[in-house]
Structure 1
Amino acid sequence: MSPESSTPEPGLTGTLYTTEAVPAQRRRAYWREALSRTFGAVDMGVPDEVDGGTIRTSPLGPMQVVTVDGDPLRARRTPRLIAGSADDDYVVVKLLTRGVARIEQDTREAYVRPGQLFVYDMARPVRLTLPEAFRTKSLVLPREVLGLSESDLRQITASALGADSALGGLLSPFLSRLVDAAGTYPQRTGELIARNVVDLVQTLAEERLGGTCADTPSGARMSLLRIRAYIDQRLADPDLTPDAIARAHHISVRYLHKLFQLEDITVSRWIQQRRLEQCRRDLARREPAGRTVAAVAHRWGFTSASHFSRVFRAAYGVSPAEWRNSALGAARSAREPRGLSA
């Protein structure tokens, strides 16, 4: 049985899944499917008898906010599931408000108590265990929004954040209230709030990285994180150059290049790489399928369609048109009906 969804309450935007009206013999299958639809493809371990569970989601700018109330469960995202799904472009920032949890990722394991935050990356294997009735409040963020490299992201996953951090202590209650009210915000207000939330999460990441990167001065690392976020917000601007970035951050171009040496990449190559990633995602989506390759390239700051095609093929081994055709074909196959097993 596939879960049916509805609007949580009049005046709110988003989706509601609840086992309340589901017959007892079908609740387990319903609950497993609802969780996978919300957080991506996972292997679920749930009790034989699911007494009840509720998932509420709302859009907030580029992210989704999610509240889950449920019975004990185990969730595991394996390499097989990652390879076969399109859910790996997201990072989850989760606040535990009731129950206890254990999170495992990137060779780390953390035990989380109420009031603490933790982060996990959908692009790599992860295991989450909630051994008793729980409530979580989550932000599901497109990974490019955070502007963190994979190496930096690996340093903040599967770590309990909150009680022992002044910033985490500030972010936890703010995130809780934000998730509760997200569905009531007008679209423009939601986008502005989302931007502030991302800034806070980035600062929390910077705080964490500043304490763990012994070989890199924390001030330089934080500056680099802020500059990368700035670049991501302005990829569509064809005039985004090292000179413009340096002026915006009141630093010299020479120092800007020195910061990017920490990533073993040039500023211009970083900008091109991020633009290519955005174009690749746009070309794989159904919505812009009627848009020309040149229009997608222009949308993300490429001024020459021929140059875009050359660098795209150099990066991914296929032309933009070939990539779009293969991605849309795979998406059509993935939408074919499939059954559920308890």
Structure 2
Amino acid sequence: MSVPLVSRVSTLAMDCADRIAFWEEYNRRELVGLTCSSYSEDGLLATQTNYRLGGLRLAEISGNEHVIQRTRRTCEDLPKDAVFVSLLTDGQAVFFHEGGCLTVRAGDIVLYDTRRSYLFGFPTRMRQLLMDIPRELFAERCADREVSAPLLFDRGAAATALESALSDWAAGAAGEDPAPTEETVLDLVRTLTAPRAGGRSALLAMARSYIDRHLTDPGLSAERVAAAVGVSPRHLSRVFAPSGVSPARYLLARRLARAHEQLGDPGSRHMTVAEIAHRWGFAGQAHFTRVHRDHYGRTPGAVRPR
């Protein structure tokens, strides 16, 4: 099951003189209103692909050296009420804002408010994964406080987990791997922005993210998850305890949910129940049928599209 593709564009085949205007108009329509400048002799050479995951949007952007800016006037004329989470995967950047300037390196994450003016400059070739979180959703699921200034995160535990989730989102959108869930991504953003992102909440978010990224591995177990996040199986159980489910039950529920979703997907009608069960890590069809009936009250065959 692929992540819904919203749109994909590139300036590479366009006349050099038309690229900037095209890029600004596309971003105004699909992402955020901005102005763009390119200092390359070749002009702006950039591509952008936009995907959707529930109420979230992800933009995968790559290009040569350029600058994008959202001025106070732009914020007034083209309002955007969202929080952006930008992961720079290649290159380097500078992020100017009202209170100063951030130096951004590959692997860093910048979280900022689109209602405030900023300038994002890329002096080298670049690639970024940019997550668009509506402000209401951010306040409800991530943090109920204002993002009064941009936040820069380097490779800590929570940032690394979010980086993996966003990369998996892009890979899942390309059909290469299962994509993370909206809940997983928002949990990681909440952990990242928490005052102390190194305790049990960070471990829980990392464990859930690891499970979602490896659901198709039939050998995945609570012990494997504990080893991946660097704790003992007993401690991992304590981390999951406040959520009301054990790591093993969470793993089973996530596998059931993804298999159930694919069973009802018309695009998967060519796959048998056994093939879907195997894809999502179940050892056999009989076991899958039993736990699916116990959980959903119906057999897997009963939810197949007619």
**What amino acid sits opposite 1:134 in the alignment?**
M
For residue 59 of structure 1, the aligned residue among 52, 75, 92 is 52
For residues 14 and 165 of structure 2, what CA distance do their matches in structure 1 show? 33
For residues 12 and 184 of structure 1, what CA distance do their matches in structure 2 show? 10
For residues 134 and 39 of structure 1, what CA distance do their matches in structure 2 show? 18
Q: Does 1:141 align with 2:144?
A: no
**What amino acid sits opposite 2:112 in the alignment?**
Y
For residues 154 and 13 of structure 1, what CA distance do their matches in structure 2 show? 32
The C-alpha deviation readout for 1:289-331, integer Å capped at 9, x for no partner, is xxxxxxxxxxxxxxxxxxxxxxxxxxxxxxxxxxxxxxxxxxx
Deviation, 1:66, is 0.8
After TM superposition, the structure 1 = structure 2 runs for residues 104-123 of structure 1, keeping only pairs within 5 Å, are 104-123=96-115
For residue 102 of structure 1, the aligned residue among 78, 81, 94 is 94
Deviation, 1:64, is 0.7
**What amino acid sits opposite 1:139 in the alignment?**
M
For residues 141 and 203 of structure 1, what CA distance do their matches in structure 2 show? 15
8 Å contact from structure 1 (residues 108, 158) kept in 2: no
TM score, norm. by length of structure 1: 0.51
The C-alpha deviation readout for 1:33-87, integer Å capped at 9, x for no partner, is 3334343111222236325211000111101111111111112211211111232
Deviation >6 Å, runs of 4+:
none
> Structure 1 unaligned runs (5+)?
1-9, 212-217, 223-248, 251-342
TM-aligned CA distance change 1:158 to 1:63, over 3 Å:
same
For residues 112 and 158 of structure 1, what CA distance do their matches in structure 2 show? 11
Give the aligned partner of residue 80 of structure 1.
73
For residues 67 and 94 of structure 1, what CA distance do their matches in structure 2 show? 10
Deviation, 1:142, is 0.3
**What amino acid sits opposite 2:64 in the alignment?**
D
Q: Does 1:169 align with 2:173?
A: no
For residue 204 of structure 1, the aligned residue among 169, 173, 192 is 192
For residues 77 and 114 of structure 2, what CA distance do their matches in structure 1 show? 12
User: What SS does structure 2 have at the residue aligned with 1:140?
Assistant: strand
Deviation, 1:145, is 1.3
Q: Does 1:193 align with 2:187?
A: no
Give the aligned partner of residue 129 of structure 1.
121
Deviation, 1:94, is 0.8
TM-aligned CA distance change 1:11 to 1:117, over 3 Å:
closer
8 Å contact from structure 1 (residues 92, 119) kept in 2: yes
TM-aligned CA distance change 1:79 to 1:177, over 3 Å:
same
User: What SS does structure 2 have at the residue aligned with 1:154?
Assistant: coil
After TM superposition, the structure 1 = structure 2 runs for residues 176-187 of structure 1, keeping only pairs within 5 Å, are 176-182=167-173, 184=175
The C-alpha deviation readout for 1:98-135, integer Å capped at 9, x for no partner, is 11011133514211111111111101111111111110
User: What SS does structure 2 have at the residue aligned with 1:22?
Assistant: coil
8 Å contact from structure 1 (residues 32, 44) kept in 2: yes
After TM superposition, the structure 1 = structure 2 runs for residues 270-285 of structure 1, keeping only pairs within 5 Å, are none
Q: Does 1:37 align with 2:33?
A: no
8 Å contact from structure 1 (residues 93, 117) kept in 2: yes
For residues 175 and 130 of structure 2, what CA distance do their matches in structure 1 show? 17
For residue 20 of structure 2, the aligned residue among 28, 41, 44 is 28
For residues 177 and 11 of structure 1, what CA distance do their matches in structure 2 show? 11
Aligned residues: 198
TM-aligned CA distance change 1:30 to 1:49, over 3 Å:
farther
For residue 84 of structure 2, the aligned residue among 72, 92, 96 is 92
The C-alpha deviation readout for 1:203-245, integer Å capped at 9, x for no partner, is 1100xx348xxxxxx99xx9xxxxxxxxxxxxxxxxxxxxxxx
For residues 75 and 26 of structure 2, what CA distance do their matches in structure 1 show? 18
The C-alpha deviation readout for 1:176-203, integer Å capped at 9, x for no partner, is 2212323659xxx97x801210111011
TM score, norm. by length of structure 2: 0.57
**What amino acid sits opposite 2:46 in the alignment?**
G
TM-aligned CA distance change 1:77 to 1:110, over 3 Å:
same
> Structure 2 unaligned runs (5+)?
202-241, 244-306
Deviation, 1:136, is 0.5
Identical aligned residues as a percent: 23
8 Å contact from structure 1 (residues 104, 158) kept in 2: no
8 Å contact from structure 2 (residues 3, 172) kept in 1: no
